[in-house]
Amino acid sequence: MAGATALGALLARASQRHPLAEAAVTALATWVVVGGTSLHREARNMADLLEQGRFATARARLGNLCARNPDGLDEKALTRATVESVAENTSDAVVAPLLWGAVAGVPGLLAYRAVNTLDAMVGYRNERYERFGWAAAKLDDLANWLPARVTALLTVAAAPLVGGSRAETWRVLRRDGARHPSPNAGRCEAAAAGALGLRLGGANRYGTHVEHRPELGDGRPPEVLDIRRAVLLSRAVCLLGGGVAAGLALLAGRRPRSRRA
């Protein structure tokens, strides 16, 4: 993480006196770090495969979205995994890096991605990485604490786009957001469940370990069509998140720079 932050600081410092270079460096870092396009593409691919009944291929691709063990998952389980992954990763892959970039520039973008990648690699507890993985997971929780809540609030705002109610989405978020074992994913998934009118949660298998997640929302179980609705909701939240990040950047990054005599 320190190396990514240092690299970002070096790039920012080298380009800060040249507006075009600074814009190019920032744009490149944002393109590298923000993963909304790949997230939505993978989710749509999953929807296509499930609609075609190609469940074995869908299981093989699930690893592109989450770390769940796909062995034996049926259409309903694959659909739920995809919808939940889209909800959680709307924050992790898009809103969080945009916010970190807005307040801390290129160093913030690269540092956030380093933290998030480290958590994905070793954040699950096991004998080999127990202490290191625990620290990585906690650092990722800290980095995503505010972005996840911003994502949840933006999901409330965007709920009518997918036929949801802002009031119902807010109610489900407040009631169920803290029930999830993750302090951040629960907010995003609960808000998505409320906006989409779904019931998320259930048994998830990671390797040989099964985790039972509490139910989020009062609606029906997700169907394949809901993957496309989740993508539409996520895209709207990403656009709103981009607007919030742009506003923060204007507030935080427009201080006059000192000039040499």
The whole-number pLDDT of residue 30 equals: 65
When the pLDDT of each residue in the chain is averaged and rounded to a whole number, the result is 85
Closest CA to 150 of 86, 92, 226: 92
Residue 14 pLDDT level (bands cut at 50, 70, 90): very low
The whole-number pLDDT of residue 77 equals: 97
The whole-number pLDDT of residue 104 equals: 84
- Give pLDDT tens digits for 142-196: 999 999 999 999 999 999 999 999 999 999 999 999 999 999 999 999 999 999 9
Cα torsion 26, 32, 34, 40: sign: positive
The whole-number pLDDT of residue 20 equals: 54
The whole-number pLDDT of residue 124 equals: 52
pLDDT at 21 over 70: no
pLDDT at 2 over 50: no
The whole-number pLDDT of residue 114 equals: 85
Q: Tell me the whole-structure pTM to 2 decimals.
A: 0.84
Residue 178 vs residue 32, higher pLDDT: 178
Dihedral (Cα; 43, 49, 50, 54), 10-degree rounding = -150
Find which of 14-23, 36-45, 133-142, 204-213 is predicted with most confidence, using mean pLDDT: 36-45
pLDDT at 39 over 70: yes
The whole-number pLDDT of residue 9 equals: 46
The whole-number pLDDT of residue 259 equals: 44
The whole-number pLDDT of residue 18 equals: 46
